[in-house]
Copies of this chain bind each other. A is one copy, B any other.
Amino acid sequence: MPYYNQTTRTMKTRDSNLGYALLGQLHQDPSSGYDLRKIFTATPLAHFSDSPGAIYPALNRLRRRGWIEPVPGEAPSGRRRQVLRPTAAGRRAFRNWLLGAVTREDVVRGLDGLVLRLAFMSGAVRPVEIAAFLRSLRDAVRAYLRELEQFLRAEQSRMSLTGRLAFESGLEGLRAQIRWAEHALRRLRGLGSSKGSRP
């Protein structure tokens, strides 16, 4: 029975958004776990959890992967705090995460991960790449939206009133994201580029 329809696939175990959020934050400003926690509780990054039981383990995972390291120098003096910063490998991994293709799955499971990526792009990737990302984000959302609209047309009659309302909530959310992406692209274009096409 040597027939393998069973895909031999590589346990692709999607890393968590929290991990990348931490890594990105350290990118912008090396700090201790405690500092990060404060930042996460005080900002909308709280969306990705702010409990020590999530943050410290996540930091240790990043360290075990060699993506972050304690900055030496200020080792065991004064308080016990450990300032962390990304390693070269960490910076590479982060960049790869930022530049990865936008998949349908990313959209179906919620745009949070994608928006998080965008948030950290300034300074880490070139404006051209940011624009490309926004365009493919917009296109992926559009494609999914069209899928859903088609589904709605087909099933509408079998759906309850609140079922339809809930569905429309999703549609409106996606439409808002498309408009936002267009707007963001205009803002990007209005910048830096000396290629302005105004007469």
Contact = CB atoms under 8 A, between A and B. Distances in A.
A103 B161 CA distance: 24
Contacts of A143: none
A130 B119 CA distance: 36
Given A162-B130, A165-B184, A170 B122 contact: no
Contacts of A169: 111, 115, 118, 177, 180, 184
A112 interface: yes
Interface stretch (A42-50, A62-70, A74-82): A42-50
Interface string A129-146: 010000000000000000
Interface residues of A, number: 43
- The 10 closest A-B CB pairs, nearest first, are A122-B160, A119-B166, A176-B176, A122-B162, A121-B162, A172-B180, A165-B184, A118-B166, A115-B166, A172-B176
Interface of A: 43-44, 46-47, 108-112, 115-116, 118-123, 130, 148, 151, 155, 160-163, 165-170, 172-173, 175-177, 179-180, 183-184, 187-188, 191
Given A118-B162, A119-B160, A176-B176, 4 more contacts: A44-B167, A46-B108, A118-B166, A168-B184
